[in-house]
Amino acid sequence: MDISEETQKMAGIFFPEYLEKVQKVSSEGSRFVYYTSAETAVNILNNKEIWLRNAIVMNDFTEITYGLNLIRKAFSGSIGEKFRDVVDGIFPETINDAQELLSVWESDWEMETYIACLSVHEPSEDKNGRLSMWRAYGDVALVVNSKPFITEGGQNGLFSLPVSYWTADEYEERLAKTVDAIHENRAFLKSLGKDRLAHAIYGMSLLVAMGTKHPGFSEEQEWRIIHRPFESPKNVLRKKTVVLEGVAQEIYALPLEHIPGEGLFHADIPSLIDRIIIGPTDHAYINVRAFSGILDGLGVENANDKIVASDIPLRSN
């Protein structure tokens, strides 16, 4: 992903972890992985789409509220007061302007954020996958090229975000470093003007709310693909109403296609799929044959070579 110089500088001040993780994934050519059930994996491939679901119904029921609570706690203490002083020292009342923005959108963040959750895939996991993910999420892992999913937002209506796993104390330490960075970059921030500075603080809060989870989930190394309908009404996604686990709900389907005109590049199945790992199962051969046939039918070269069966000795029932 090409990130503008100004965006890099702003990220370095307000959310350096974002920039560091984007650069790491890009420089190392890291892949993402989607752990799911065999049924869902078949549907993803045959329908050529991944669903983004409302954060309210995700496995972690505090997807947005956890980050918001970190922000509230930190800003109610002494480090929050220091943050206010350093920002308002550049332009008075900037924090109030940022809080007005937050008051307008905070409820919408919680209620109208749609997410697809991927994980960073390590080379050491190519053969067997990750045991904790098999236990939590299913029996098939789709390992994919990360490039189509690394985006800072644009015409396709998506932005991607690596997840941080902070405790309340760790986030306060992070905020203290932000205070120091604001001090060091005061002239740059002043050159942007008050409105841009207020929006930068709003953006920092958005990234913390959308991109922070309880430390207990840290093994997941999650990377979120996010859509905010009211902020990106024009997008490449296809809105649908489905019933999942007895709950009627709206989802947004991301087409797995190459659609340059809509800002989606090389997301077609042959370009996207690096490998499929079949998780611990009593029927590995049957699964391998089935997914090999699906990939072959979708034009994936050497499809059978892209399917591996994990030999982790875990009972499937």
- Integer Cα distance of 85 and 66 in angstroms: 25
Where do we find the tokens 């932000």?
178
**What distance lies between CA 291 and its chain's CA centroid?**
26
pLDDT 10s digits, 78-107: 999 999 999 999 999 999 999 998 888 888
Residue 155 has a pLDDT of: 62
pLDDT 10s digits, 36-94: 999 999 999 999 999 999 988 876 556 788 888 999 999 999 999 999 999 999 999 99
CB 227 within 8 A of CB 252: yes
Task: Provide the residue ranges of all domains of the chain, joining segments of one domain with +.
Answer: 5-309
Helices 38-47 and 284-297, packing angle to 10 deg = 10
Q: DSSP string spanning 90-116? A: TSTTHHHHHHHHHHHHHHHHHHS-EEE
CB 154 within 8 A of CB 226: no
Model pTM? Answer: 0.91
How many CB atoms sit inside 10 A of residue 129's CB?
24
